[in-house]
Structure 1
Amino acid sequence: MRTPRGAGALALDGRWHQISPRYVVSQLVQNAVVIALVAVAALVLTTLLEQSWVWVPAGLVIALDLITLIILPRQARALGYMLRADDVVFRRGILWQRMVAVPYGRMQLVDITQGPLDRLFGISQLKMVTAAASTGVQIPGLAQPAAEALRDTLIEVAENRRTGL
């Protein structure tokens, strides 16, 4: 078996890798912004239109967002990936757990994306696209160097085996 030899290459050792803790902070900020926007919108509508019923849907949205904030750290700990000899395995979920194994030979594209807030926190999302739409994998919350190292490793392994990418 040939393994990647690049400077930042990751080992195909079958160990779980976690996402960056900055992902949780980024998501907390995003959810706080949503809560603030919903509260301001409800306040403006209540003041201008004198309709107090606006607080019912706003309260539901805020309550759901607060529940999301509470479980967010546990959800982030459930995200991870493992590089094995023949495939990369991705896991996510607390109650509804999902594990996806993507063979290196099935990958067609490895894409790294960043939103404005992601750039601020130095995190990225790595997306692996396969021929089957249901097996496309997205790994959010990777530190930028980790995302680039993972992308380079996946490309190098696929090229070494003359499959996929």
Structure 2
Amino acid sequence: MTNSPEAKTPDSKPTTIDETLDHGTFGRLIEPRSENRLVLESGTWHQISPKYVWVQLISTGSFLLIVIAATLVLTLLMHQVWAWIPGGILTVILAWTLAIMPRQARAIGYQLRDDDLVFRRGILWQRFVAVPYGRMQLVDITHGPLDRGFGIAQLKFVTAAATTGVTIPGLEQATAETLRDHLIQVAESRRTGL
């Protein structure tokens, strides 16, 4: 991975799976600075597309505008002064979410290891999940209208244990399809009894 914070956009078409997974992604993974952070040393971390940030900013910003409009209608037109309290609380929460969204997105990553896929997210509240290839039961690609407009998708893995289900958001459509095909191929070769 490079140290550039910009998205990777190579001029040539990707030829290997690593090049395909890193095509159009953030330049480096942001990690917590604390000595007590969860660290996974070996391997290459792949990241999500910066387009994911735009999708989240648009959807969260739209919800923020609806909250502000509803609060103003309730307070100014209907004289319901109590609406300032929930409206103000929701506005602060949504504004904070918008402010930290780019940093949160750059902390999302996944790593393909020999026997499992490791997914990580979070800076303040870190989450690491390892999904063994042989335990994957379903690999699903989903995308909503806004995702389709930006050319991104989510890849979801389902296993027998509900707590190990992982959704990787903000993958380029081609990356999601390549990763899905790779995971299905590897899972079939490492299938274990359930």
Q: Write the distance in 2 (CA, Å) between the matches of 1:69 and 1:88.
A: 29
TM-score (norm 2): 0.76
Percent of aligned pairs sharing the same letter: 64
What is aligned with 2:128? 99
The answer to whether residue 161 in structure 2 is matched with residue 132 in structure 1 is: yes
Q: Which of 9, 23, 47 is the equivalent residue of 2:76?
A: 47
Q: Stretches of 4+ moved more than 4 A in 1? A: none
Change in 2 beyond 3 A, CA 1:141/1:15: same
Q: Write the distance in 1 (CA, Å) between the matches of 2:174 and 2:146.
A: 17
Q: What is the CA RMSD across the aligned residues, in angstroms?
A: 1.9
What is aligned with 1:4? none
The answer to whether residue 97 in structure 2 is matched with residue 90 in structure 1 is: no
RCO comparison, higher one (Cα < 8 Å, 6+): 1
Q: Write the distance in 1 (CA, Å) between the matches of 2:70 and 2:129.
A: 40
- The structural deviation recorded for 1:159 is 2.1
- The structural deviation recorded for 1:52 is 2.3
- The structural deviation recorded for 1:103 is 0.7
- The structural deviation recorded for 1:15 is 1.1
Change in 2 beyond 3 A, CA 1:114/1:22: same
Q: Write the distance in 2 (CA, Å) between the matches of 1:66 and 1:86.
A: 40
Give the AA of the match of 1:10: I
- The structural deviation recorded for 1:93 is 0.9
Give the AA of the match of 1:39: I
What is aligned with 1:15? 44
Give the AA of the match of 1:46: T
The answer to whether residue 122 in structure 2 is matched with residue 115 in structure 1 is: no
- For each residue in 1:43-67, what CA deviation from the matched residue of structure 2 results, as whole angstroms up to 9, or x when unmatched? 2212332122212211110110011
User: How many pairs does the alignment contain?
Assistant: 157
Pairs within 5 Å for 1:55-94: 55-94=84-123
Q: Of Structure 1 and Structure 2, which has the larger fraction of its residues in helix?
A: 1
What is aligned with 2:4? none
